[in-house]
């Protein structure tokens, strides 16, 4: 039984393929067409999934689309009567989805009638919930999806049991936690699609001085529901359209906040204005109000279901600061957030919704790692690495695994910036040890060095640590697994000075817990770093520079060359920039490894 999930004509376009109940491959289109948050038809992602499963499009049994134009039709019609522009947008979307078979056939140069698959339309939030619950390790759980908007709702919650989910409540447009967060993100001067996580990082610098006002902007209501103060927004009166020119352009979202919000909170920050303490406090207040609503919804859901396990999905599930509070503020003891919790994850969710809810098949798969993307052979990686040898810019060595880990760990301990390219690409927006840039977490200056030399990010944004799962309790106040970097836990007070680079200003870190079973090579590297330095932790940031995370070996080499990365480890090859020794001096700001390389026991 072959099921293809396709998130199309929407930001974070993606594809996933499930064969006989097991996920075989999943990837976002942006990794392949190199356009951040790419929308449109994810033809390359579909092509990759089919190749990985060894099947042709004509052999697929079911195609699952996470969009149901007929969901909440009555509410849509009411809005359409009030807002003609909205009606036209809906018609355009419905036409687009009606032509998906023809678009697929055209992309793969086959006749439409050779696609014998049955097409299924899975409601957006049902697909989000399926993307978490059906691949979670839980037989039963409470399930919650929250995002900006999808199929005219922003929030759905359910009780999940085996291959079924029973919906317990929903919140429909125009009330939306995602819209709330995006509107305030815009108000704070961050207008790019996907900028919300920046404001989450900024919130740690402030105090919730404006919380009372924010409680008027969004407030909990009922057992697991909430309301927006609609005066503060314009999406309900003027639309909230996400637009993109074509599949090769990043989507753009129009303004969401109203003049009334500026009247109450002061003028919006312009994108080029400096950030002040007031902005920090606004961000802090926004985050605090979101958390109050989420805690209320989680508690309501816990009370209604009696469950101890919770599955979260939708863009709001990327709020790792809030997620961590499930464990401290509710009866839930276990939380599962799959790595592509946002709209990319819909392709996985739609496919598993067909497998279980439509075909009635039992569950037999758990997503316990994130490595579902493209993978290249040792020979391909070696060939690309070797192509750098004639350039005179890098020294290359080919090492066995033991020597490779020794050498990489030593480079990290000496303060060098290491590109680490191994195995299959990660599913979801986080680099989790296969397409990562690694650095020494013990050096307080490493955040500035990474920003100056490679990432060029806003200085207030934190970097994240990876840690062996065995050491989590020694460094963090929580030990619940965070394999996909979807939780931010407080670093133990006595360890904040030990790993200052990835510890945020509020003493938390958005950690990745690494198990031997999920990523054996990365786990061994962390152990090796621990042997060398006494600290089994590395700073782990995505392998990219203002672009989607690198996918192919050629992109890794290109990023290595055009940035001031010191070392590239690709497969079993190590490339060291010939100027790396000098750069390492510059990075450490001292005579490098001596002070830091000694075990800190």
**How far apart are CB 343 and Fe ion at their closest, in Å?**
5
Beta strands in 51-102 (DSSP E): 62-65
State the DSSP H helix or E strand holding residue 288, giving kind and residue range, or none if neither.
helix 277-305
**How far apart are CB 351 and Fe ion at their closest, in Å?**
16
For Fe ion, the closer CB: 123 or 147: 147
DSSP string, 265-282: H-SPPPTTSPP-HHHHHH
For Fe ion, the closer CB: 125 or 279: 125
Rounded Cα distance between 372 and 166, Å, is: 29
For Fe ion, the closer CB: 188 or 344: 344
For Fe ion, the closer CB: 12 or 408: 12
**How far apart are CB 150 and Fe ion at their closest, in Å?**
4
> Can you say whether residue 162 is alpha, beta or left, with left for phi > 0 and alpha for psi between -120 and 50 degrees?
left
For Fe ion, the closer CB: 343 or 576: 343
- Name the site residues for Fe ion (rule: CB under 5 A): 147, 150, 343
**How far apart are CB 26 and Fe ion at their closest, in Å?**
16
Residue closest to Fe ion when measured from CB atoms: 147
**How far apart are CB 123 and Fe ion at their closest, in Å?**
11
Structure tokens, 310:
């919770």
Rounded Cα distance between 73 and 84, Å, is: 15
**How far apart are CB 128 and Fe ion at their closest, in Å?**
6
**How far apart are CB 152 and Fe ion at their closest, in Å?**
12
For Fe ion, the closer CB: 340 or 418: 340
Distances 400 to 322, 404, 405, 425 between C-alpha atoms, Å? 42, 6, 9, 22
For Fe ion, the closer CB: 133 or 460: 133
For Fe ion, the closer CB: 18 or 129: 129
Letter string b/e over residues 381-391, b meaning 16 or more CB atoms within 10 A of that residue's CB: bbebbeebeee
State the DSSP H helix or E strand holding residue 554, giving kind and residue range, or none if neither.
helix 553-562
Helices vs strands, H then E, count in the chain: 23, 24
Query: What SS3 class is residue 141?
Result: strand
**How far apart are CB 593 and Fe ion at their closest, in Å?**
46
Structure tokens, 324:
């961590």
Residue spans of alpha helices (H) in 99-203: 100-107, 124-133, 177-187, 196-203
Is there a cis peptide before residue 373, judged by omega within 30 degrees of 0?
A: no
**How far apart are CB 151 and Fe ion at their closest, in Å?**
9
For Fe ion, the closer CB: 150 or 530: 150
For Fe ion, the closer CB: 28 or 343: 343
Rounded Cα distance between 206 and 510, Å, is: 18
For Fe ion, the closer CB: 123 or 343: 343
Rounded Cα distance between 217 and 154, Å, is: 16
**How far apart are CB 315 and Fe ion at their closest, in Å?**
6
Rounded Cα distance between 49 and 24, Å, is: 8
**How far apart are CB 154 and Fe ion at their closest, in Å?**
8
Q: Shortest CA distance to 569 belongs to which of 451, 440, 410, 452?
A: 410
Rounded Cα distance between 166 and 100, Å, is: 29
Helix-helix angle 124-133:346-353, to 10 degrees: 90
């Amino acid at each position: 039984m072959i099921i293809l999930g396709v998130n199309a004509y929407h930001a974070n376009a993606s594809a996933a393929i499930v064969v006989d109940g097991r996920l075989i491959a999943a990837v976002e289109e942006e990794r392949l067409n190199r356009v951040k948050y790419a929308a449109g038809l994810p033809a390359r992602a579909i092509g990759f999934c089919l190749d990985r499963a060894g099947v042709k499009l004509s052999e697929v049994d079911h195609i699952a689309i996470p969009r149901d134009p007929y969901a909440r039709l009555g509410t849509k019609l009411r809005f359409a009567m009030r807002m003609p522009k909205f009606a036209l947008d809906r018609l355009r979307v419905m036409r687009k989805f009606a032509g998906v078979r023809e678009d697929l056939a055209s992309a793969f140069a086959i006749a439409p009638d050779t696609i014998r698959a049955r097409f299924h339309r899975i409601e957006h939030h049902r697909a989000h919930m399926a993307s978490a619950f059906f691949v979670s390790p839980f037989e039963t759980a409470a399930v919650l999806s929250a995002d900006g908007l999808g199929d005219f709702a922003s929030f759905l919650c359910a009780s999940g049991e085996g291959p079924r989910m029973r919906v317990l409540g929903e919140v429909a447009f125009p009330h939306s936690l995602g819209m709330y967060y995006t509107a305030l993100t815009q108000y704070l001067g961050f207008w790019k699609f996907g900028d919300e996580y920046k404001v989450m990082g900024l919130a740690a610098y402030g105090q919730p001085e404006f919380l009372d006002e924010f409680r008027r902007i969004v407030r909990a209501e009922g057992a697991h529901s909430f309301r927006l103060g609609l005066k503060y927004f314009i999406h309900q009166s003027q639309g909230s359209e996400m637009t993109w020119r074509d599949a090769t352009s990043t989507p753009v979202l129009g303004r969401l906040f109203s003049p009334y919000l500026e009247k109450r909170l002061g003028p919006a920050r312009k994108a080029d204005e400096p950030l002040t303490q007031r902005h920090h406090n606004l961000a802090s207040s926004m985050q605090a109000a979101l958390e109050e609503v989420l805690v209320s919804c989680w508690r309501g859901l816990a009370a209604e279901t009696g469950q101890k396990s919770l599955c979260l999905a939708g863009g709001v599930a990327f709020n790792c600061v809030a997620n961590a509070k499930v464990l401290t503020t509710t009866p839930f003891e276990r939380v599962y957030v799959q790595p592509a919790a946002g709209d990319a994850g819909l392709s996985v969710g739609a496919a598993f919704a067909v497998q279980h809810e439509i075909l009635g098949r039992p569950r037999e798969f758990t997503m316990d790692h994130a490595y579902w993307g493209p993978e290249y052979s040792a020979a391909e990686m070696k060939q690309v690495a070797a192509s750098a040898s004639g350039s005179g810019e890098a020294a290359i060595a080919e090492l066995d695994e033991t020597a490779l880990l020794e050498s990489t760990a030593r480079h990290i301990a000496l303060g060098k910036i290491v590109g680490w390219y191994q195995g299959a690409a990660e599913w979801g927006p986080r680099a989790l040890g296969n397409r990562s840039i690694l650095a020494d977490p013990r050096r307080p200056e490493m955040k500035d060095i990474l920003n100056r030399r490679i990432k060029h990010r806003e200085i207030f944004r934190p970097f994240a640590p990876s840690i062996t799962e065995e050491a989590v309790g020694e460094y963090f106040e929580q030990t619940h697994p965070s394999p996909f970097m979807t939780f931010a836990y407080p670093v133990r007070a006595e360890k904040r000075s030990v790993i200052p680079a990835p510890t945020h200003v509020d003493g938390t870190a958005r950690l990745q817990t690494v198990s031997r079973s999920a990523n054996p090579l990365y786990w061994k590297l962390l152990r090796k770093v621990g042997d060398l330095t006494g600290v089994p932790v590395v700073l782990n940031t995505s392998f990219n520079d203002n672009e989607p995370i690198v996918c192919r070996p050629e992109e890794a080499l290109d990023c290595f060359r055009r940035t001031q990365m010191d070392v590239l480890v690709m497969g079993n090859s190590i490339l060291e920039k010939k100027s790396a020794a000098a750069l390492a001096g510059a990075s450490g700001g001292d005579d490098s490894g001596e002070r830091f390389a000694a075990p800190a026991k």
